[in-house]
Amino acid sequence: MKTQKLGRGLGALIGEIDEAYENELGQKDSIIEIPLKDIRPNPFQPRKHFEESSLYELSESIKSDGLIQPILVTEDLDGYVLIAGERRLRASKLAKLKSIRSIVLSSDNQKMRQLALIENIQRDELNSIELAYAYGELMKLYGYTHEELSVKINKSRTHITNTIRLLQLSSKTQKTLIERKISTGHAKVLVGLDEKEQQLVVDSIVGQKLSVREVEAMIKSMKSSKTDSLKSTETTSFDLTKFKDIFDILGMKIKTTNRSLTIEFETEAQVLKLLNYLPKNNL
């Protein structure tokens, strides 16, 4: 029940900060101005990539209209630790402000992690890879299944499952997605390919501006070619019976299949005998 309460409180925080203050945060919490230099980043922040152009636009908006929604912080021995609102904090620093409007909460590590994760998820500010890590972190923290998490954050179970599957991509492919060189739609159809195949397809997407449908067709063709190659290899056979007479002379047993030959040694002397025989006969 505690987890659900935190989730409702966070939803209110995102929608309307004053209502959240009244309903969930308690009467002792209030909005105050805190020096930017006294606020440290949230160690549980799931977002790692911040676009400079987007931060610049937000900083210009803050210069012009001020900060509409306060950030959330918690107090510690060295000042304050950010709970939620890192874009606002970074943009305020970019705007050369000295202080920022903040709501101070009493919070433990678990609540800080949850607030940071869900705030970013609800705001759709994370890229697909960060979102996948955030979903995984919430599931690990609270033991949620994909279905349970979908109910908690109002996302479809299919969306959550497909997003988490992006973590199966190679680090290079993930980086390409983070940098928006490929779309999430592209990335989803790359899951299941090995690293070399992913790189081949990614290079084609970037170089040829392929659509998701064109990539699906490309991957289908690659898989079909691989299947045909495997079938060709499996049906290939070799005549290995000619080796039987040679090994009979050496007194050794062999087993053959269509594409393999196995030698059975009974003594070390047979091994030495074969080694001495091979160079002389250029086998």
Q: Which residues are catalytic?
A: 86
How does DSSP classify residue 165? G
Collapsing DSSP to helix, strand or coil, 126 comes out as coil
| CA dist., res. 260 & res. 248, Å (int) | 18
Task: Please state the φ and ψ torsions of residue 266, each to the nearest 5 degrees.
Answer: -100, -30
| CA dist., res. 200 & res. 185, Å (int) | 17
- Residue 148, burial from CB neighbour count under 10 angstroms (0-12, 13-18, 19+): middle
Specify which residues 103 forms β-bridges with: 31, 72
Residues near 74 by Cβ (< 8 Å), separated by ≥ 6? 80, 81, 83, 104, 105, 106, 107, 112
